[in-house]
């Protein structure tokens, strides 16, 4: 296989550039030796999914370049490298399909992906394939009306608020530091980041409570609160009553317990 074919994305020439985070923030590690491990696979999957969801083409390109550079110096068998790249694509596809089930992203099937990567002789061609697929995903999940950075942030939150997302972890995905992004978020949206996340989670929890299928602790976990007591506290703060009282007020039966059953 050939060494990596380097590429770079367009840089931002606006006044906001000063608030951008440095690309050498711990996510780009060109000089670090690469091992074909599950840890490396999970790391690259998470980073690509994050950059693709935020339509951060610059960081997608830089991470692809890093990946190509790292794989071109791996001492393993070619078959192992191809398996790593295949698994990477399939994991990205699985995560994106789960997060954007209604988007109908036109991914290639398992057999087609495996056949393409196995028959391709040059690393740069596989990297180009991953680049094209990343662009395809961004174009599919994107919206023509998303013209500002806040549109992108809100779009990302809408599809990820059930997970453990924090401002200081998503800000780098958009190329900003958390302090600056938090400032423009509060100014534009009218509330701070954490409050906005709480509102999204509580609104979804109200829908799930009215469906009356899940217990309260199951709903808490599903909307992003891993601690059911913390969920009760947040729900009462924003709704003015407990989840059980909310259900009862709509004429629905309440479950016998709010806590998960003990492990046996």
Inter-residue contact 177 to 19 (CB < 8 Å):
yes
Q: Model confidence over 119-137: pLDDT tens digits? A: 999 999 999 999 999 989 9
Q: Model confidence over 159-198: pLDDT tens digits? A: 889 988 899 888 888 777 888 889 889 988 999 999 999 9
Picking from 108, 123, 141, the residue at the C-terminal end of a domain is 141
- Show the domain range for 209: 193-249
CATH code: domain of residue 237: 1.10.10.60
What phi and psi values does residue 176 have, to the nearest 5 degrees?
A: -120, 160
Residue 105 lies in a domain: yes
Residue 182 lies in a domain: no
241/130 same-domain check: no
133/199 same-domain check: no
Which of 68, 59, 58 minimizes the C-alpha distance to 88? 68
What phi and psi values does residue 86 have, to the nearest 5 degrees?
A: -65, -50
Picking from 141, 157, 174, the residue at the C-terminal end of a domain is 141
Computed over every residue of the chain, the mean pLDDT equals: 82
Question: If you search the block for the tokens 């399939």, which residue do you land on?
Answer: 90
Q: Provide CB contacts within 8 A for 240, sequence distance 6+.
A: none
48/122 same-domain check: yes
Long-range contacts of residues 205-213, Cβ cutoff 8 Å, at least 24 apart: 205/231, 205/235, 205/243, 206/239, 206/246, 209/243, 209/246, 209/247, 209/252, 210/247, 210/250, 210/252, 212/247, 212/252, 212/253
Picking from 110, 141, 172, the residue at the C-terminal end of a domain is 141
Number of domains observed in the structure of the chain: 2
d(CA 135, CA 150): 20
Is the confidence at residue 32, as pLDDT, over 80? no
Q: Model confidence over 230-251: pLDDT tens digits? A: 999 999 999 999 999 999 988 8
């Amino acid at each position: 296989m050939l060494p990596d074919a380097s590429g770079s994305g367009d840089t931002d020439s606006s006044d906001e550039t000063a608030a951008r985070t440095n690309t050498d923030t711990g996510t780009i590690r060109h000089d670090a030796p690469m091992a074909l491990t599950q840890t490396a696979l999970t790391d690259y999957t998470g980073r690509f999914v994050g950059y693709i969801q935020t339509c951060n083409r610059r960081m997608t390109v830089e991470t692809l370049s890093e990946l190509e550079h790292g794989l071109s110096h791996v001492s393993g068998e070619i078959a192992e490298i191809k398996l790593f790249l295949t698994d990477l694509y399939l994991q990205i596809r699985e995560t994106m399909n789960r997060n954007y089930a209604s988007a109908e992203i036109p991914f290639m099937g398992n057999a087609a992906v495996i056949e393409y990567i196995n028959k391709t002789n040059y690393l740069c061609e596989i990297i180009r394939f991953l680049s094209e697929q990343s662009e395809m995903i961004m174009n599919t999940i994107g919206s023509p009306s998303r013209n500002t950075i806040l549109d992108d942030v809100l779009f990302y939150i809408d599809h990820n608020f059930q997970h453990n997302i924090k401002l200081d972890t998503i800000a780098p995905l958009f190329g900003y530091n958390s302090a600056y992004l938090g400032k423009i978020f509060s100014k534009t949206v009218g509330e701070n980041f954490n409050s906005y996340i709480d509102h999204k989670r509580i609104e979804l929890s109200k829908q799930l409570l009215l469906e009356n299928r899940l217990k309260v602790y199951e709903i808490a976990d599903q909307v992003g609160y891993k601690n059911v007591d913390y969920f009760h506290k947040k729900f009462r703060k924003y709704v003015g009553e407990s989840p059980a009282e909310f259900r009862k007020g709509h004429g629905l039966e309440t479950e016998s317990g709010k806590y998960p059953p003990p492990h046996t």
